[in-house]
């Protein structure tokens, strides 16, 4: 009886060990099922459990990491999306798309300087990618936004001249031109990425016209 009890305990122990050994696969599969069902929070939790249980000697599943990042992005957890898409880049999985979403996550987090750096590099590295157009659009949208702020400020300054004393015109024009000059390099950056951008072309023409008149 004691022998049978020992054998039973051994079999139970081996069964538990085998269960622990495959837990990471079960978590991954659960994540895949949740992702297919658009249950992104559930998918993220399952994938993170899979990563936590992943054996050190086992190569990480790069596709799962990408899916984990996507799950985080779909629930608008930009911090985790950034972390996991960057890990996907490091693993070499769909580097173009992963990098695009790294930039998107940085943008969502308000880390625009870093976003710009990532996108400029990615546009050069992934020239033939189907996502490069989206990269350029994200970058030019940022540049247009940055240029619009001083451009609009300059326009408001000039508008104030309507009710100002004529003696103030020179000072008003000088202040407006400072803002126009601040806006100029942003529109030039847009045209470096997208030479046919009509918004940037029109804004730059106006800026150059204003600056040349004084």
Give 45-66 pLDDT, tens digit per residue. 999 999 999 999 999 999 999 9
DSSP character at residue 22: T
For residue 170, name the pLDDT band (cuts at 50, 70, 90). confident
The lowest-confidence range among 4-13, 78-87, 144-153, 198-207 is 4-13
Of 68, 112, 119, which Cα lies nearest the Cα of 91?
68
pLDDT at 109: 98
pLDDT at 86: 98
Tens digits of per-residue pLDDT, 5-16? 443 443 444 344
Please tell me if the domain spanning 20-115 has the same topology as the one spanning 129-214: no
CATH class, range 20-115: mainly alpha
CATH of 129-214, one of 1.20.58, 3.40.50, 1.10.3470, 1.10.287: 1.20.58
d(CA 15, CA 17): 5
Tens digits of per-residue pLDDT, 80-132? 999 999 999 999 999 999 999 999 999 999 999 999 999 999 999 999 999 99
Domain ranges, ordered by start, for the chain: 20-115, 129-214
d(CA 83, CA 168): 53
d(CA 134, CA 147): 20
What does residue 82 show for φ and ψ, rounded to 5 degrees? -60, -45
For 193, other C-beta atoms within 10 Å of its C-beta total 17
pLDDT at 1: 46
d(CA 101, CA 131): 10
pLDDT at 165: 81
Q: Could you give the C-alpha distances from 179 to 151, 158, 211, in angstroms and in order?
A: 6, 11, 10
pTM, rounded to two decimals: 0.86
pLDDT of residue 4 exceeding 50: no
pLDDT at 94: 97
pLDDT at 12: 42
Tens digits of per-residue pLDDT, 37-50? 999 999 999 999 99
Helix/strand/coil for 109: coil
Please count the residues of the chain: 214
């Amino acid at each position: 009886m004691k022998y049978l009890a020992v054998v039973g305990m051994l079999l139970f122990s081996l069964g538990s060990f085998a269960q622990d050994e495959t837990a990471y696969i079960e978590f991954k599969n659960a994540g895949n099922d949740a992702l297919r069902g658009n249950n992104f929070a559930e998918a993220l939790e399952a994938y993170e459990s899979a990563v936590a249980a992943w054996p050190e000697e086992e190569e990480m599943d790069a596709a799962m990491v990408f899916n984990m990042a996507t799950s985080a992005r779909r629930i608008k957890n930009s911090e985790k999306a950034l972390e996991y898409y960057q890990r996907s880049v490091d693993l070499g999985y769909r580097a173009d798309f992963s990098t695009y979403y790294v930039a998107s996550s940085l943008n969502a987090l308000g880390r625009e300087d870093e976003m710009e750096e990532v996108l400029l590099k990615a546009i050069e590295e992934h020239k033939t990618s189907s996502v490069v157009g989206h990269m350029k659009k994200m970058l030019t949208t940022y540049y247009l936004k940055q240029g619009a702020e001083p451009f609009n400020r300059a326009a408001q300054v000039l508008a104030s001249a309507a009710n100002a004393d004529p003696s103030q015109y020179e000072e008003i024009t000088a202040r407006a031109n400072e803002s126009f000059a601040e806006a100029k390099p942003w529109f030039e950056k847009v045209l470096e990425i997208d030479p046919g951008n009509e918004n940037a072309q029109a804004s730059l023409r106006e800026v150059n016209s204003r600056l040349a008149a004084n």
